[in-house]
Amino acid sequence: MINTPKRPPVSITSNLRQRYVTIPEVIRKTNGIQIYGKRIRSLIFTTDLAIVMNNNADGIIAVYPFTPQISINNAIIDVSSSPVFCGVGGGVTSGERSISIALQAELHGAYGVVLNSPATNELIHQMNEVLDLPIVVTVVSEYENVRARVEAGARIVNVSGGKDTSHIVKKIRTQFPDLPIIATGGPSDESILKTIEAGANAITFTPPPAGDLFSDIMENYRQKQKEGVI
């Protein structure tokens, strides 16, 4: 058996594309979820099109606190160079409307659809009858009946339990050794690693607001003007 030395990947950038949002390196410790041949370990949680285009995550999770809009989902899918998981309701927006939005997302090229926690098992079942895409159901509490979600047709769970996330992930992993789990990682490398060790296959990362990212650039411009560079 030939032992090939492990070498870092060769990196290519350009003069114009040196700035992008980078995910924490610790996320690479997950084993990932393979969907349609693509291995997804990191998902960036955003609907900002500029960030959608400029990040190094494996995918986008596009869930937002408004009723789902086909135009929003389509714009994100069109702009993204990586797989997109679209929010399709499950709370206020439900029933046939959610199913219709989910089908449109599939036809436009989404890799999965995400239902909010209030989604009924009947909605999951009905949506699963129509879609070929994996349905991702959000879990926010350890008291969620995950088995009923899976039996209804959910193929991935998305755990978003705040400070209790790693505990919820561990509980689900104990019951379902092979169920794909996406989970929020939290604010630090330590919290991300804790969630991974609990059993998460992929981690969602919330990037800094675009305003914060731009303020760094503006401060750099001010400093250069002060020094007479520009």
Q: What is the domain-level CATH number for residue 77? A: 3.20.20.60
Domain-embedded: residue 61: yes
Domain-embedded: residue 59: yes
Q: How far apart are the first and last CA of the chain?
A: 57
Strand locations in 28-152 (E): 33-35, 38-40, 42-45, 59-62, 84-87, 112-115, 135-139
CA 44 to CA 164: how far, in whole Å? 20
Paired tokens of 24: 């924490």
CA 134 to CA 112: how far, in whole Å? 5
pLDDT of 227: 77
Q: Is the dihedral of CA 43, 45, 182, 151 positive or negative?
A: negative
Domain-embedded: residue 6: no
Closest among 154, 196, 198 to 172, alpha carbons compared: 198
Please list the pLDDT of the chain residue by residue as tens digits (230 residues): 566 677 888 888 888 777 889 999 999 999 999 999 999 999 999 999 999 999 999 999 999 999 999 999 999 999 999 999 999 999 889 999 999 999 999 999 999 999 999 999 999 999 999 999 999 999 999 999 999 999 999 999 999 999 999 999 999 999 999 999 999 999 899 999 999 999 999 999 999 887 787 787 787 778 778 777 66
Residues 6+ apart with CB under 8 A from 96: none
- Which range marks the domain in which residue 106 is found? 25-207
Count of CB atoms situated within 10 Å of the CB of 106: 18
Domain-embedded: residue 52: yes
Count of CB atoms situated within 10 Å of the CB of 205: 21
Number of independent structural domains in the chain:
1
Domain-embedded: residue 85: yes
Please state whether 172 falls in left (phi above 0), alpha (psi between -120 and 50) or beta. alpha
Domain-embedded: residue 220: no
Domain-embedded: residue 19: no
Query: Quick one: DSSP state of residue 225?
Result: H
State the alpha helices, DSSP H only, in 90-145: 95-108, 121-130
Domain-embedded: residue 195: yes
Cβ(204)–Cβ(182) below 8 Å: yes
